[in-house]
Structure 1
Amino acid sequence: MGWKKIDKIISKSVAIIIIGLVICSFSIIKININRNRGDYFSETPDNLKISSDTEPNNDFNNAVEVYSGDEWSGSVDYTDDPNDYYKIYLESLQILEIIFDSSDYHNLYIYNPDLEYVYSTMCDHYSLANISWTANDDGYHYIRIGYDIGNSYTMNVSIPGFEVGITHPKDISYKYGNVGNVITWKIIDYDIGTTNYTIKYNSVVKESGSWSSGVIINHSIDGLLCGIYNITIEANDGKGDLYSDSVDVYVGFDIESNDNFNEAVEVLPDIEWSGEANYDDYDYYKIYLDLLQILELRFEYKSGMDPVEIMIYDPTQELLNETIVSSGNASLKIVAILEGYYYFRVFPWYEVYYNLTAIIPGEVNGLIIPAESFSYEYGTEGNTIIWKIIDKNVGGTTYSIKHDSIINETGSWTSNVDIVHDIDGLSLGSHNISIEANDGQDDFYFDNVSVNVFNKAPMIDYQGNTTIIKGSQGNYLKWNISDYSINPSNASYVVYQNSSLILNNTLQKGINIITYPIDNLTVGNYEFNLTVNDGLGIHNECAEDIVNIQMIKNTNISINSPSNITYEHYDTGNTILWNITDVTTINPTFIIYHEGIENQSGTWQSGVIVEHSVDGFDIGVYNISISAFDGCGLNITSWVLVNVTPCIDPILFPPVPEEVYLLGKPLNLQWTVIDDTINSSYTNYSIYHKGILNKTGSWQSQDIIIDDGYINTPGICNITIIVFDGLGRNASDSFNVTILQPNNNQWQYLTAGSHVLWCADSNKIYIKMTLTSTGYCSVKINGSIYDPFSTSFDNGLLYFSVEVINSSNLVFPVTTRFYIPASILGSYPRGNLTLYHYNGTDWEGIPDIELNFPSDENWMEYNCPSFSVYALGLKSSTSNGDGDGDDDGDGDDDGDGDDDGDGDGDGDGLAAFWNNYGGIVLGLSISIGIGCVIGIIVVIKTGAIATSNIDTAKRSSKKLRKIKHKFDINKLKNSIQKINEIIDELSEEQIIKLTRQIKKIIKKIIEKDKKSIEELAGELIKSHLLIKKDNIKKAEKRAKKVLKIAEKENHDVIIKEANNIIEKIHNISEKRGKV
């Protein structure tokens, strides 16, 4: 609904005409022409004889033109159109004088050529009104005689001359790139000398010149960049008088980022904007409006696709007006009812090119903001209609409000202040509420609102069907009835139980709460029916609700009985699990007590575990109980004893190390720690080699693994570990290992069978040999030459040296030497250097590299797959000679078959054996059990195969397969002895096969023995768990069984730990006896 203004009363038009004719017969015309110096005016035509307001001069378009010297008489009042309009042509700075005489009160207004209000006054009948006003523009100016009380008047107008001064042009706005923009000034001065003026842009001089009185100064402002400019003129008349004026110029354009309210482009009136917008790039603009100013938005659809929506918003960004344009032009208008920025948005459905112009044609005298039609429920309160009238020029204001044409309220109003009208208590049905108001001047306002009063049915808020357990308390039916539209004398409600009336009461206006207790119902099914009647006769509304109640029998509650708990002090993760079951519960709850003091409470569900932690207790025995309630009158209680015992030290299971390690070989040790109570943030261990700290670390799991424990010096080394559990307790383990460096070897030239072993962990080996006339040879390993013998030898000795570097940069020198007879000292020895390797899976004795010497500078590179032991052997190039072999357990043999590691042996034919068939050297050092090392040294010699002994070899191989399943170390020794006795009768392939079988059998023996220890340790861990679960008898039985087996197999560590567990069990039993 738009704003409304009463400015015409059509029913009085006939009376106006009659009165106008009567007045016309008494009108007088008087023309006064006053010519002063410098006068510029239009003379009144001689034939013009207009003396009254008989013209329909009731708006600007029909204004009667008057001239200087005219005396005009007329009349306005509430029976006539309340305004008479006149116009007179004035030049800028001309003075307009008006003498106004009236028989009562009149309002007089002056408007400039743009119809902008510039002057007003109220004239009364007590004295003449003398008005003098100076024009600022060239063109027709308008005089409006308005109604106040009104009646006849006489008005004399004259133009006595010009006022000395300078004109003040309006501020200018134009779009960037437009042309024809000019500022025009005129200066009036009757006494001038040498004149001059300057024009400044933002205080910077732009133009200067001279001027003449009454002659226009035109200044072009085309070509400015976008922005706001203050353009000032300063003029001097040459005789001491100064004139100045200032004009603001705004130059703007459309921008792409104005796609929301916050980025709206500010525009000034009369600027035409060209823009482009699409469905995801809207254009927003804003313009500042004073109260009651009119905004007209003119839109030109230049080109595009699909329609575009044009919308205008007020300063609160509430939509005021909108339209949809598909082509051509459109116009939207609003009146500012708030002072501030108003927004308009160009919202295309797809894409549009447009021109947009914001016009402010003027302002309205006033307006009424209408109220919206609405409905409300009969009997409710707080229903109001709110109007607001905005009027800048008010006198004695009045209003009257009618209900269905009958006056209900009258009063006065204030501009821009709400008129709030209470409409509570209207009868059911539709009503017309209207307001009529006037501003005490000449403006009237009217609005009409339609109000519908309706009856709303009662609303019932109910609890719904439910099941109740017999014996539970506090059960009742409850309804909330809400109804404000009732007849209190007739409104009522009734409740039936299985068709029997149980409640019949009066319904009150508003909220009614109905309750009915049902604890005493017997087991069975019940229907309750509620009916509500608001008592309004023909407009009567009813509501109904039905509730079904089932009363059932209560069942018993049950709970499990968890086992008592025993745990070490500081142990965590100790919980009690209760399982409570009951099929009939209402808000079931539980309470947990520690030694009779409430510790925890909550709710429970049938069959859902209630978990309760008992961590953090001090050492002692505690009674923990739970009481569960089903909410229906039944409850149950369960108890658990919690025994917190002192902490025990960690249990450390030591590794099974080899007693002898080659220098530089990794130790690869692993300890197992058992400790149920630790502080994982502070657990740590320290490992010492020969009393010196070698490594520290933290541990979280049960295993501590040391995989890089190199020892860089030979001899006996003590290894000690101390483990801390983070709670002040510790455990330790200590043992010795022997670190060996390969011994120097010596043999005589033209003998064979000697070899050297060393340990390394590289994947490449480099060998460089140089043989001098004095008999010196060196070997290069891993790219570096190591020469520990810097002086030449004599007495027929040839020195042969090897050094090995492992991945930890440890150096291991090995030296060999052999004797050269003086008779052939001048000759170079002939022979081969043979390299053997152990590939990690099988022992092999097939030569991989042979280096023939003497040579000049022989470099050989050997890429090894994965090895730890290497052997260098020297093979003679002749076939004769007896030798005295070294049989000290290092794998050397002189060919007599004696290989028991206990002494020397002599034999013949070994040189020929090496010369014809080569040799295989096998050295094993096997660790079995704890601290038990068996040395098995086997010398296997290749030779011709005797056909008659093939069966013997097969039988020996068969025996080995049987031994493999028995894992008997003594039988294994006997079988190896028998193989050595027939070794000369076996083929090389059979020998290799048999040696592989021996290795696999030994490996199985080791694994069996290790498994036995691991199984016993596992049984001890189970004993610990049984103690934790408070199963003392089973824990003791298992520990004693382990002790018996460990004593039989001499496992000292297991024996010690089993005794500790048995002692712990005895301590627990003694404490419980005291309790």
Structure 2
Amino acid sequence: MNNGYGVYISGGVNSTFIDNNIINNSNGIYFSSAYNNTFYGNNFLHNTVQGFSNSATNSATNGTLGNFWLDHLGIDGDSDGILDTSYALGGSGGVVDDFPLSIWNNESFAPEIIYTPSDITYETHSTGHNLTWRALDESSTVFEIYFNGSSQGINPFNSREFFNVSIDGFDLGETNVTIIFRDSDFNEATQTVIVTVVDTVPPNITILTNITFIEGNLDSLLNWTFADFHPYNYTLFVEDQVKISGLWNNSISLNVNVSHHLKDIYNYTLLVQDTSSNYNISVLLVNVIDGTPPVVSQPSNVTYEQGTSGNNITWMATDNYPANYSIYRDGLLVTEGNWTSGVNITIDVDGLSLGIYNYSIIVYDINNLTVSSFVLVTVEPSLGFFVNHPSDISFLEGLDSNSILWNINGNRTGAYTIYQDSLNISSGTWLDNQLVNYSLIGLSPGVYNFAILLNSSTYEIITDAVMVTVNIDNIDPLLNDESDLLFLENSINNSIQWTFFDDNPDYYELWVNDFKVETDVWPSNHSLMFSLDHLTPGEYNYTLFIYDLRGNYANDTVLIFVVDATAPVISSYPSGPNVTLEYGHILNLTWQAYDYSSSNYTVYVDNVGVITNVWINKSLTNFSISDLNLGNHNVTIVFRDFYGLTSTHEVLVIVEDITKPELSSPIDLSFTEGVTGAKIINWSVIDDFNGTYLLYRNGTLNKTGSWNGSDFISIDVSSLSEGAYNFTLIVTDFSGNTKTDIVEVTVLSSSSEPPSSSEPSSSTTTTTTPTTTAIPILSSSDSISISTTSLSSPWSIFFFFVSFVLLFWLKKKKNT
């Protein structure tokens, strides 16, 4: 094995090769100019080229039995031990094994994994993902699957069968999938595949089309819905400025009211992201057009005596987008020009001949929307008495304080009649310098002609007419414009106060972040105040709408910015400033922190950031750590909120090694002095760290040395002379943890005499002084058998007694 050739035959003929293991070679069996050779019952495993022959006379079978080829992936359909398909060797000889073995011959190997899947990456929440293995073993028993070290159960397996393991439904990230095949001889074969689940699909977002609406339309809303397996946050930009942002999930939608925009085109861009930084964008244009024509005042009709001066007509027009106007007299253009919203347009009507003239004005805005108004100008002859000409009156419905007041002068008396649209509605007499007052209570919306006919005592007649226009209430309420606010979280006395006015008040609505939160009738004091002290950090849009009885409305928006002034609070954390960890074990640390603007956290180990992740308010933050070296380590967690405020907690992790080495306990030895063959005591020692050892024989240091993390310590005792010996081994690891084992060695005399002293006496002369005889050390299973035939002297009896006590004490000590 492990050669260029497992079997190389050059020029050989009539040879037979049986029951060989040919493993890990460049070439398994190679015939070069060799003929009539036969090989069968051999195992070919892990050779680059399993077999090669340029001669067809060589045979890979004896007619019923071939060889085992590890790379032959055929099946044994009838379970007779022979695969159903043949195996062809390399070379021009065309040698074929027609009876390939389904399992290796006369050997017990660990299971061989002959078909292994590659590492796999798939999209989250997709299905149909499997890992397939195929294993080979002569005593196939079970396989066990682990996901990240967690067993998923034990299942039986049959040699050469394919095994599918479903890996659908894994979380994002990497998962270690490990399969262990075990046979009945407890041999194992292991293979690990890395399954990576990724999220590359951007969130699904409704794509809105561009919208166009008339300025002031209250029903102008944008509505987006989102969908993703791993939602995170969204940001809405208006003209490249952030309007609103936040977290989202699949159960919410984003509604945005755009009715507050004035005429223009606005770019709305919505950016939606998931936790894997995939994103989608929705862009649309909001086109606000002007659908409201200008508003122009209605001046009163003008009546004046011929020859007087200072007579004119004055209009006032209002519009957000003024353009030009034209003034006509009796249908003929008199003048034209540009106008400014809220600025008077005046035309002089002096110098006209007797008669009645129709003056009309047409006012245009830039969108060519128009409004018109006409005024009658009456030029009368000069009279001996006269009545003043009150101005035409225009007022909103519901106002009952209006009246027409005529003042009659001329040193005369007479009678009067008042007409409303040719209908006689009032009459009476008048005196010089008398005021005639007619109330306009109860008029419905419309245009009315009120005329007074005056008859004097000298038979003179004069008239005057006043145009009264009662307008439908189409004037928006008056609402003050509140400034935007910015204040710190938890500060006090923060509020918005709006004041407003209208002749026909009805109700109001308060919207917060495009959601209606309050509606009620107008307060009698025409004022509303809303406290803001309860708001948590963030940006808020407060919009107040006020409506009158005719549906006219006004609105004002205030942006509220609440700044987070409080760092995150770590409410629970690992107990104690120090944590002790046994080397090689896993340490789990848990923190809990809260902050309404939670963002993320980072864990540092010895000032090196090892993980950064999203932190959800009040959730438990778990961190597991292992593979730390011995010594002190600083584990620091930093919580951050969206405003950059941080809180930190540190834990000192002390990694110790308090585990004693694992030391085998060889059995005690007993052998006859002089018997050939090595007598060796072998200890095995296992520990995570290297160490040293001390080996004592009968209490005297006999040997020292060092050992690696997994090592053997041996001593050859073959040369010991007759006697009893105590070999004590003390092993110490790098951290000073020790383990001790004692092996007792008894060397018997080659004759039937009891064992003599294991050490030579200090003199060759015979004395009555006891010699330093080695004392046998008994194991817990040994029995004590003492012959009394040699106790022929007091000293012998004394020595026997001392030896017996010492043996008993050592036996008891070992047992404990």
TM class by smaller structure: under 0.3
Greater strand fraction, Structure 1 or Structure 2: 2
